[in-house]
Chain A
């Protein structure tokens, strides 16, 4: 089998280098690209599961206690598809858990990080491939733990994704498996992050200085640092809760604690301690869930504006600033938790300040498009929508950073609106953009542009119909996580709005079929892509599509940063990182 590439390079050696077994090549592979794709497929499957769980939530909010057709029998075992309150609580818990720990974090770091880091810095693989493989295979026990927790007695965890004790400690085996799963995800992320840091620091190609790295790599690098410093705290906290749950310790259990008239022998702990430890990880995790997406968006915006990235260094400094500030803002989740209100004041100031780097980045993205020649490709549309939606998600964050306002909007749909604008309208849209953009590199074929645009338009319109009204729901005080909010007469007038949002949510999930068909169809039948279908500067586009073992069929030497679009030095509007400058013609004109 030989690939016909559109450029003059002959097919890579990768095609005929190895003829070992399927198992070694595609299952227990040490190749970062295969591991990246394994992460991609696993997380996309969980994305589907998380979406189904969301449908259950939306059904109940639109038609409380009415039996849910089709899906109801799957989600809620009893009562002919009606969702009982226990199941509803389980749905909100597991929707969040699956989306955060099985989709967003592993799809960014695991899928894109693995696939792109060596290709973008000019390495033949990760620094420690075996660790890389382990980081994927540790996800499987986590998948199994969370997956089986749905079927144990009492069902999956109902403790909320934040697992606040003491309530979480009243949960049965579902909570136990939840904690095991969480810890394993943490171990996987830790192995990944150590590997990424080492690879990015040690294995850059000649000429690839830190300030020539694309923003995607900066996003991954800062994310890896955040993971490495924050994860140990979550892991420790997880073990403490595990021991409280199973071994009778009392880290998070107050003195004389009872639930359902069931006195527990232990005590002397503090429920707020868990919140501090949990958010010490989970606030930085918010950035773990968005910095790589911001990096990917920066790359896509520059490529399709055919113009250098505006303010590269300010962008780098602002994500580094986020990494620093990200560790001193966790208390903004605890303004009304009973934490000393004096601390609330401090956390308000630091939280306000962390909005600054995001503002700087937004202005620089606009600056990138200013005066460019914008090509409205599918990845570009997703990237622009990231910017547009991130403006909303960023600005709504200011409300909850303001402590007096947070007294009112805390635990209402205002919060739900905010983090869905950041995580779905932001990160998930960037992920779609990234898939459309790097798909040719992953599979050597193009995705269908027309269907891509249809998918984009419907997703963009529908997500706003689902998530934007949540802001005004929040303003009415509409609380989150209520199995039947209409138990309060005050909220009854919100039923029609919630029904509208739910219809849009069902449609939003439905139109993802377009994406799935396009994805799998293009994998087998898409037109061949060639090395550089988008005429990009990035190093990854100089490798064959898909790259063989060892990635590059030449020794990459880097002459410039990845954003020199429209440079007056060359005739074309792009200037690949590996193309020698004109005056250096005497060395080696082409080094394939």
Chain B
């Protein structure tokens, strides 16, 4: 039976590694990254995946080997009457401590650039989470939010210029939400009464998901949006188009109902 139990535990590292090797072939992997900083985050992930993967395989194989070798029936000599080893304890305290500290320090720069050092830009759009939609307010030609010429959209579609650093102001109207852009490796909880910003630079045009990642009610699952990255000229055309659309709507409706 020792063979059976040892091999059962040997399956853990084998199938564990196999899952991670096979997953990309089934297209179950990171979503496509279209941001500039996303690669840093993916690389950090892969770095830790390799590191922990090696530790995982080595420790699981050690476990397998001990199970295989030291079972009661095949072990004739008496057990090692040992209460531990100072030298070993020191080694396996200092090594992981140093590694963990290194990982922490190694991550700091990416964190700082993603969340701590905002570029000196005015917000290109204000994102407002509400149950259960993402609303967007563009500052309009005067580049100032909350002025006459703002463009307000409630269709869940966000248009942004590609290949440019953009700054988003994000806030909530009611409960917590989380503005999650999987393809840009960006996420920020949205807290009512707090104003937050998010910045990134997209590298590719196209439409990508906006996901709400913080439980906000029964309709949480359908709080879906799309972000479209357009070249600068098309982006401006789109803004103009939305502004005209809004003006005609304003003409039809005597009172504006946004917000």
Contact = CB atoms under 8 A, between A and B. Distances in A.
A405 B48 contact: yes
A367 interface: yes
Contacts of B27: 493
Interface stretch (A217-225, A348-356, A584-592): A348-356
B193 A411 contact: no
Interface in A469-506: 469, 471-473, 475-477, 479, 481-485, 487-488, 490, 493-494, 497
Contacts of B215: 89, 159-160, 164, 167, 481
Contacts of A374: 2, 66-67, 70-72
B157 to A, nearest CB: 15
Nearest to A362: B59
Contacts, number: 314
Contacts of B29: 472, 475-476
B151 interface: no
B121 interface: no
A479 to B, nearest CB: 5
Interface residues of A, number: 110
A201 B91 CA distance: 33
A402 B52 contact: no
Contacts of B122: none
A259 interface: yes
Contacts of A336: 178, 187-189
Contacts of B173: 258
A235 B144 CA distance: 45
A15 interface: no
A375 B93 CA distance: 29
Interface string A366-379: 11011111111000
Interface stretch (B76-84, B160-168, B249-257): B76-84
Nearest to B106: A402
B220 A481 contact: yes
Contacts of B75: 372-373
Main secondary structure of the interface of A (DSSP, over half): helix
A167 B190 CA distance: 12
Contacts of B44: 402, 404-405
Contacts of B178: 336, 410-411
Interface residues of B, number: 95
A476 B30 contact: yes
B244 interface: no
Given A487-B222, A493-B27, A369 B104 contact: no
A360 B92 contact: yes
Contacts of B70: 305, 369-374
Interface in A179-208: none
A25 interface: no
A311 B89 contact: yes
Nearest to B184: A408
A555 interface: no
A396 B52 contact: yes
Contacts of B9: 384-385, 388
Interface in B19-35: 19-20, 23, 26-31
Contact of B193 (A270, A353, A356, A410): A270
Nearest to B177: A167
Interface in A236-283: 254-260, 270-272
Interface stretch (A100-108, A139-147, A431-439, A565-573): A565-573
Interface stretch (A27-35, A73-81, A337-345, A539-547): A337-345
Contacts of A305: 70, 79
Contact of B187 (A257, A385, A410): A410
B192 A257 contact: yes
B125 interface: no
B84 A367 contact: yes
A257 B214 CA distance: 18
Nearest to B113: A404
Contact of A166 (B72, B97, B176): B176
A391 B8 contact: no
Contacts of A7: none
A517 interface: no
A405 B114 CA distance: 11
- 3 closest A-B pairs (Cβ-Cβ)? A254-B193, A371-B80, A477-B182
Given A167-B216, A376-B5, 11 more contacts: A305-B70, A363-B92, A375-B71, A376-B1, A387-B63, A391-B59, A403-B115, A405-B107, A479-B213, A494-B28, A497-B26
8 contacts: A342-B116, A372-B80, A384-B9, A407-B185, A412-B213, A469-B19, A475-B29, A476-B182
